Structure 1
Amino acid sequence: MVTIASFSDPGIDFSSLEGIDPAQHADFRASELQAGDLVVAMGGYVGRAAICPPHPPTANIGRHSARVVVDPSKADAYFLWAFLTSPIGELQLRRQVTGSVQAGVNLEDLRVIELPSPSSLAQRYIGDKVRQAERLRERAWRLEKDVAAIHAKHIVLPDGIDFAKRTRRLAFRSLTERLDAHFYPSAVEQYFRELGGTTRSLDDLSTVVINGQSQPESEGGVLQATVANLGRSFVEGALRTVKRPTDGARALALHDLLLCNAAHNKSYIGRDVTYSQLEGPYPSTEVMIVRLDREQVPASFIRQYLKTQIGYLQIQSTIRGITAHSYPGDVKGIEIPIPSVPDTEREAWFATDDKMLIAGRCADAAKVLTIIATLLVEQLIGGHLTEADLADAQKALETGDRSADQTILQSLQRNDGLNVKPLIADLDGLYALLDEPDGEKDR
């Protein structure tokens, strides 16, 4: 069942959705998604929309969203997605909201929303940006899935482990200054006893395990990643601009693993293990950096292990106090089982980190392309760009000439005001990603 929470611009993340009864699916055939369908949020998150990607699994939409089948002879569905998710399109949808307890948009009201209808070439120019974002997003997901499959061969899942057991015997030599039973989970002891083999602590495997440092906001400062930027896979969202910290060693490096180290709900600590595709921003106090010695073990392997049920329990066991904090000194003590990887597979094993980095860059580029598409809609409606500008750029692109496209993209700015920056920091890098055939550099 596709929920609004599964929308991942511009498409849908099918990986964590719950299933429905086949009989219920059969009863609601009209709600079954097909490739190219436009899905629009009708309640809860009015203004959200998604495009059903090519080759979707069998899936239905829920009652809080609408399935729109676009006639390709009349409009480009990907252009319509860009319009509906732009500030102008969101405003149109919000104007149709009715009700107070369960506010939302009725299907009848959705049908009467006025949509812009520029030339097919102008629509295709904007729609293609969304299609490119979709392709890069799919590549990012595929790469991450490939990395997970490689590491899964070397991680023994905790099947048969008694996670409900609350007591265990401890050897005196295994005690630390922590005298709380929570720090010594029985399930972890059972897992390692049954697993056997070599283990190493994160302290032994890392060069840095440290918390960030929150800084006050400051124009012209440095970027800072907070807990809100810790995505399930990569650093995401807009970063704050803050005063430069005095300790430059806390700046993020490529391949760092990032953990939330403090939360009102302790279950959030360790729930996500974020892989850093960024270099330079500074983490806030609530973000912990784990920088692996990648000569010993791939950072992506450690991430995959910590995301297992037993790895999550190990992170949770480090939490101190009612206010739920995890500290570097305790996280350093987490033991990691080290697999015996055959020599013939070690090159591919260590190459997984580079795959994760490419996946992160594809995800970033996909996000930028969706922003470009919505901004182009605003520029077109606001008269800053004309249909002829977009149509000419599209015609040139279809002949392999990017000059007009480059001019348009370079004119787009990240924000208004005194601190104006280009929306695309590295246009050549974006073109390079788009020029790579899918999977060409992924093997």
Structure 2
Amino acid sequence: MFYRKISANSLNTKRLDSDFYRPEYLVIDEVLSHLNCVKLGSIGHFFTGPFGSKLPSSLYVEEGIPLFRVANVGQFEVITESFVYLAPKSHEELKASEVLPGDLLIVKASVGEKICKIPESLPKANITQHIIAIRPKNHMDIDYISTFLFSYYGVGQLQRYSLGSIIQYLGVTDTKNVSLYYPHLVAQKYIGDKVRQAEELRAWAMALELKFQKQLKTFYPEAFKDKSTGKKHSMAPIEDMSYTLNPGAFDEERLRIRLYLKKCGSIKLKEVASIEGTTSSDYSQDTTYIGLDSISSGTCALSPSNIRKSGVTGTSRILNEGVVVAKLRPYLNKISYIPKSLSGSVGSTELLCVRPLNELNGWYIYGVLKSDIGLRQLKPLASGSTHPRIDQYDLYDLIFPIHQDSEIMGKWLENAQAAYFMASYLVISAKSLVEALIEGQLTEEQLIKAQQTLEDGDNTLDKAILHKLSSEGYAIEGATPLFSDVDELYRLLASATAAADSED
């Protein structure tokens, strides 16, 4: 409960609900009132998608123009995994809600959580009624603007202008009233470039993962084909009946893939790797925690948390460097790699830890298990109606191909995960820089000078700023630096740029 006496000048006659005048919102108002701000509505054209009756699911097709739904809008990134599509004719009929590269998307219901920019890789798309789109004016740095909206001062305002007691919901008109801090354009560019660098690193990481999959598919093409006939019975070799009578083990496609891989010289995973399962309840509230939600189903990206934020109690799995495979619901493909920097963290007891027995590259093991070669062998084995699981014996029995270029291929994935991590750090750094500017910890002049020296080929000032960043903010005494190795960031950025240039 709170109360606050509001002057007549501070009242918004369109918003007389008490939540609009929460103390923290008024503090944000006060802070921004002393800075150069513009209304968000002045930056460009605002529009939203059509009502549901004009966009029924019957219009969805397998290929065509992508349709952005709430699930496709992430934090600074597009989530393509659950895209649905519209036929070109349907899209043309809904032309008013067409979005183009550079447009900014804001989800109405997930206030301050889901905002992203349409990338150049999507020439055009459409949106549903649950998304607000902004087409910025030419001189606007949309990446800086999205960073501000994700900052404490942006999220606070978006929440303030939203309506609803159970589910907060943003309207187009109210969104336009958000005050946007508007520093010098060069300072905006310095911050916006951090977001663009993150975008470049993510694109490179995805390209490296795709490269791995293509290489695997080139050498083992039959393992990626679907030749299912729908038969309810199968003829299984005697060696495939060695440890289980689970009906899923004799799925016709699973048996076909295993037989094919054996003919290619593949062996069982138990011959090249061991599975560990040490647990502990001896950890602090700040111990890094990796739950199933931390693991991406489609990429090697990880989103670690800690015990306090995750609300974990009891026993957890001790995670050392290497591959982790989730026992629960294998169809979700929750498989990842714990890098050296996170070795010693703890995680869900649903995770099995896989370690190479010899010199085989651990990243290569991860890549194969994450691919269709692993998924199509493990998915049919899940047993249990409510919480289907596999066990370590299912994993040991997996037929595993060893590619002659396993070391090189593993390095691709190692670089991919490093790029994903650096991309997430760059996004955090951009948000922290906006907040540091607003709170006076940094000046516009410092960012302008850092940007100008970067353009002259000197990264000294940029390094100095990056060294002061942590997940807690800018220049926080005693905080762990966000970038433990700034030179590694520059190396990855150079590699990503070189890869992009070679494609052009």
Cross-structure match for 1:246? none
Q: 1:86 aligns with which of 144, 151, 163?
A: 151
Other structure's SS at 2:453 match: helix
Q: Is there any run of 5+ residues in structure 1 with no aligned partner, and where? A: 243-248
CA distance in 2, matches of 1:366, 1:79: 16
Residue 472 of structure 2 aligns with an amino acid whose one-letter code is N
Q: TM-score, normalization: structure 1?
A: 0.83
Q: TM-score, normalization: structure 2?
A: 0.73
1:229–1:237: 8 Å Cα contact kept in structure 2? yes
Cross-structure match for 2:487? 428
Change (3 A) 1:423 1:299: closer
Change (3 A) 1:394 1:286: same
Matches within 5 A, 1:58-97: 58-73=124-139, 75-97=140-162
Q: 1:49 aligns with which of 102, 115, 137?
A: 115
Residue 388 of structure 1 aligns with an amino acid whose one-letter code is E
Residue 481 of structure 2 aligns with an amino acid whose one-letter code is P
Cross-structure match for 1:408? 465
CA distance in 1, matches of 2:357, 2:498: 30
Matches within 5 A, 1:364-383: 364-383=421-440
Per-residue deviation, 1:191: 4.2
Residue 499 of structure 2 aligns with an amino acid whose one-letter code is G
Per-residue deviation, 1:278: 4.2
Matched, 1:315 2:378: yes
CA distance in 1, matches of 2:454, 2:463: 10
Change (3 A) 1:111 1:179: same
1:242-265 alpha-carbon deviations (Å, 9 max, x no partner): 9xxxxxx96433xx3321123xxx
Identity %: 23
1:225–1:282: 8 Å Cα contact kept in structure 2? yes
Cross-structure match for 1:286? 350
Q: 1:201 aligns with which of 256, 268, 272?
A: 268
CA distance in 1, matches of 2:138, 2:266: 57
Q: 1:225 aligns with which of 290, 300, 305?
A: 290
Structure holding more helix per residue = 2
1:79–1:126: 8 Å Cα contact kept in structure 2? yes
Cross-structure match for 1:245? none
Cross-structure match for 2:163? 98
Matched, 1:335 2:399: yes
CA distance in 2, matches of 1:259, 1:283: 14
Change (3 A) 1:63 1:217: farther
Matched pairs, number = 419
Other structure's SS at 1:39 match: strand
1:227-282 alpha-carbon deviations (Å, 9 max, x no partner): 2221232251234269xxxxxx96433xx3321123xxx3x565233244445244
Per-residue deviation, 1:371: 0.3
Cross-structure match for 1:271? 333
Matches within 5 A, 1:81-230: 81-100=146-165, 103-155=168-220, 156=222, 157-162=224-229, 164-168=230-234, 174-176=240-242, 178-193=244-259, 197=263, 198-206=265-273, 208-211=274-277, 213-218=279-284, 223-230=288-295
> Runs of at least 4 residues of structure 1 off by over 6 A?
416-419, 440-443
2:111–2:158: 8 Å Cα contact kept in structure 1? no
CA distance in 2, matches of 1:295, 1:366: 30
Cross-structure match for 2:59? none
CA distance in 2, matches of 1:194, 1:400: 53
Change (3 A) 1:295 1:274: same
1:212–1:286: 8 Å Cα contact kept in structure 2? no
1:143–1:442: 8 Å Cα contact kept in structure 2? no
Per-residue deviation, 1:398: 2.0
Residue 432 of structure 1 aligns with an amino acid whose one-letter code is R
Range with bigger deviation, 426-435 or 79-88:
426-435
Other structure's SS at 1:237 match: coil
Other structure's SS at 2:99 match: coil
Matches within 5 A, 1:8-19: 8-14=74-80, 16-19=82-85
CA distance in 1, matches of 2:258, 2:285: 50
Range with bigger deviation, 285-294 or 106-115:
285-294
1:79–1:123: 8 Å Cα contact kept in structure 2? yes
Q: RCO (CA 8 Å, sep 6+): is it higher in 1 or 2?
A: 1
1:318–1:331: 8 Å Cα contact kept in structure 2? no
Cross-structure match for 1:25? 91
2:105–2:118: 8 Å Cα contact kept in structure 1? yes
Matched, 1:362 2:409: no
Per-residue deviation, 1:283: 4.5
Residue 155 of structure 2 aligns with an amino acid whose one-letter code is E
CA distance in 1, matches of 2:177, 2:148: 15
Cross-structure match for 1:392? 449
1:38–1:49: 8 Å Cα contact kept in structure 2? yes
Change (3 A) 1:314 1:384: same
Change (3 A) 1:211 1:283: farther
CA distance in 1, matches of 2:444, 2:156: 22
CA distance in 2, matches of 1:140, 1:99: 39
1:82–1:373: 8 Å Cα contact kept in structure 2? yes
Range with bigger deviation, 311-320 or 433-442:
433-442
Q: Is there any run of 5+ residues in structure 2 with no aligned partner, and where? A: 1-66, 309-316
2:428–2:471: 8 Å Cα contact kept in structure 1? no
